[in-house]
Amino acid sequence: MLIVEREDHFKAADLRARFPDLTIHDARSVGEALPHAGDCEVLIALAHEVSDELLAAMPRLRYIAALSTGVDHLWTLKNLRADVRITNGRGIHGPQMAEMAFLYMIGLSRHYRLMEANQRNHVWKRWAQPVLVGKTAIIVGVGAISEAVALRCKAFEMSVVGVSNARTQSPGFDQIVPRARLLEAAAMADFLIVLAPLDETTRHMINAPVFAAMKPSAFVINLARGDVIDEAAMIGALQGGAIAGAGLDVFSVEPLAQDNPLWDMPNVMMSPRVGGMSDIYADQALPVVAHNVAAFLEGRVTEMRNIVR
């Protein structure tokens, strides 16, 4: 087994304690992993850390346990064999992603960037503070993370509407509408929270018509993938006042180019794709990974959790 993790998302010691008879290698990079790759049948890593170079070095690979929920990067790899089983980290990211959504909702609506600037400049300026009570969150994409966000929104006495073709009801949602009604839903939004996975049906789903449908006082928050939003259209909407601001954890190109105007927009809050990270990530991931490794080793593959294929 090979574990590739750069930022302590998972600790090899956790699995060694559970499976003392397994040979487990851990590496901080693909380069460190390559000398051990040839004999390994299981790969544990964030999906975007898996490369064609690593896959080419793993002829015995049978199973990838992706620590991330999104695995769209894997479908771009030419060396991913069709017989390799894949699971993801669905269900473990709800707390941190929901808290990031609230960081953005509260920070944007209360103009926290201006507060910070005033503090640096020793400016004492007060204004009425907007509250979340009675506001409407439109959540595009309804899954485990969206449910975590929705339930917390209800605790703040917000209205919550989901946009999804896969579900008609879910905990925490007042209603769920199909994607065909996206523009109608966007017009209701005080916060349009994007949590849809990236595929060819969702690429640039949040585009110029969506921004045009939104209220000038509304904010867009993207915690999904950069390309679910048409970034050029969003920049235009922000510059033209079609929407009030944006909270962005993901971008079309990462790291964000130094000349991207989003860096300098006062109505934009940004973070470097940290929404899914937490200081307890290894503890969150271990139960799912340990269960799946045991099921895989014992041939109980149909009992594995979060099977992608």
pLDDT of 206-244, one tens digit each? Answer: 999 999 999 999 999 999 999 999 999 999 999 999 999
Closest CA to 222 of 108, 129, 114: 108
Mean pLDDT in the chain?
Answer: 96
CATH no., domain 2-91+278-303: 3.40.50.720
pLDDT for 86 equals: 98
The domain limits of the chain are 2-91+278-303, 94-270
Question: Domain 94-270, what fold?
Answer: Rossmann fold (3.40.50)
Q: Quick check: helix, strand or coil at residue 259?
A: coil
pLDDT tens per residue, range 118-159: 999 999 999 999 999 999 999 999 999 999 999 999 999 999
pLDDT tens per residue, range 157-192: 999 999 999 999 999 999 999 999 999 999 999 999
Residues 6+ apart with CB under 8 A from 265: 238, 239, 246
| Band (5; pLDDT cuts 50, 70, 90) | confident
Q: Quick check: helix, strand or coil at residue 221?
A: strand
What is the residue type of 266? P
How many other CB atoms are there within 10 angstroms of residue 28's CB atom?
A: 13
* Radius of gyration of the CA atoms of the chain, in A: 21
pLDDT for 146 equals: 98
Q: Is the per-residue pLDDT at 51 higher than 90?
A: yes
Q: Is the per-residue pLDDT at 8 higher than 70?
A: no
pLDDT tens per residue, range 273-291: 999 999 999 899 999 999 9
Provide the whole-model pTM: 0.91
Task: Decide if 229 contacts 254 (C-beta within 8 A).
Answer: no
